[in-house]
Amino acid sequence: MTKYLLTRLRQSLITLFLVSIVVFAGIRALPGDPALALAGEERSPEALAAIRASYGLDDNVVVQYGRFIGHALTGDLGNSSRTGLPVADAIGQALPVTLELAALSLLLAIVVGIGAGVVAAVRRGKPEEWLANAVALVGLSIPTFWLGIVLVLGFAIALPVFAASGYVPFGTDPVDNLRRMVLPAIVLGSGLAAVVMRQTRAAMLDSLSADYVRTARAKGLSQGSVVGGHALRNSLVTVVTVLGLQLGHLISGAVVTEQIFVLPGFGKLTIDAVFTRDYATLQAVVLCTSAAYILINLLVDVVYSVIDPRIRLGGAR
């Protein structure tokens, strides 16, 4: 296990290094001059030259990359060229917001998705299955932006239970935090819950028709034990794979949700950085997101072995 983890860690670092090059080059391949975007309305050739010199945009791309990596390795991600705020601070402030949003959405997806999937499989052909399938289809089909606005109109304006926007850290005021995070979590998690529901249902149907379940039933185990202890546990491997893959989508999906609910998260930070050609912020944000993807995949591999002891990582026995 340790050997496997070390190998994966080494591979991850190489991937991250390659990603940093792709990100750096990709951002510079974007059309549009960051100096122009910064200068805004009042751009004179002198002001543009000063901006380029000030941010080192005049330097050779290799020199710029070296400077970026050198600083990044010491934890200095630079300052935003637009706001002047340290990028590390911006990420430090945005990351908890997106992580909380992703965690709540994931929780929602797990509880609703797995619950509905199990019910749909166990009650196959019954109205419960139809209902679960219909809800899943709606969850998959509704555009995030529309759902967000409708939920705000319904539950923040007509029936003011939740707040329409903004973020308050959980540590500052847990109640206000949840008042502001529940609607975004529903918006972001609804699509994932639908995917999880369908995967769980399919995996559960397979499991429920497997020999070991028939054996368990023959041994006289209760329905709860058969479904929860045997069928569901074996179905979870598929579900965890889907969750791992979708978690990355949750982070990218957060872009729209954060715009609707004005959450100062990673998505909003990324979008703002793209439109203002804020290289320093964009590089750091994309690099952090890549690191998160790599980490999540590693964690998913580890979770496999916990759920299903038959899976042994790295071929170890």
How many Cβ atoms sit within 10 Å of the Cβ of residue 104? 18
Binding window for other proteins (CB under 8 A); candidates: 37-45, 218-226, 240-248, 296-304: 37-45
Residue number, 82 or 198, with CB nearest to other proteins: 82
Non-local CB neighbours of 126 within 8 Å, separated by 6+ positions: none
CB of residue 161 vs other proteins: minimum separation in angstroms? 11
CA–CA gap between residue 51 and residue 198 (Å, rounded): 52
CB of residue 132 vs other proteins: minimum separation in angstroms? 31
201 binds other proteins (CB under 8 A): no
Provide the mask over 133-152, with x wherever binding to other proteins is found by CB under 8 A and - wherever it is not. ----------------x--x
Binding window for other proteins (CB under 8 A); candidates: 84-92, 193-201, 208-216, 237-245: 84-92
Q: Which residues pair with 79 in a beta bridge?
A: 86
> Which H/E stretch holds residue 181?
helix 174-208
Output the six-digit token pair for 70: 């050198």
Site for other proteins in 210-269 (CB under 8 A): 259-262, 264, 268-269
153 binds other proteins (CB under 8 A): yes
Output the six-digit token pair for 285: 């944000």
Nearest to residue 14, comparing CAs of 26, 22, 4?
Answer: 22
Spatial contact of 27 and 279, defined as CB atoms under 8 Å apart: yes
Provide the mask over 97-136, with x wherever binding to other proteins is found by CB under 8 A and - wherever it is not. ----------------------------------------
Count residues near other proteins (CB under 8 A): 52
Binding window for other proteins (CB under 8 A); candidates: 85-93, 247-255, 283-291, 309-317: 85-93
Non-local CB neighbours of 302 within 8 Å, separated by 6+ positions: 5, 313
51 binds other proteins (CB under 8 A): yes
The DSSP 8-state label assigned to residue 49 in this structure reads H
Residue number, 5 or 149, with CB nearest to other proteins: 149
How many Cβ atoms sit within 10 Å of the Cβ of residue 79? 18
50 binds other proteins (CB under 8 A): yes
Site for other proteins in 166-185 (CB under 8 A): 166-167
Spatial contact of 251 and 292, defined as CB atoms under 8 Å apart: yes
- DSSP labels for 271-314? HHHHHTT-HHHHHHHHHHHHHHHHHHHHHHHHHHHHH-TT--GG
6 binds other proteins (CB under 8 A): no
CB of residue 21 vs other proteins: minimum separation in angstroms? 23
Residues in contact with other proteins by CB under 8 A are 30-34, 36-47, 50-51, 53-54, 80, 82-85, 89-90, 93-94, 149, 152-153, 156-157, 160, 163-167, 259-262, 264, 268-269, 272, 275-277
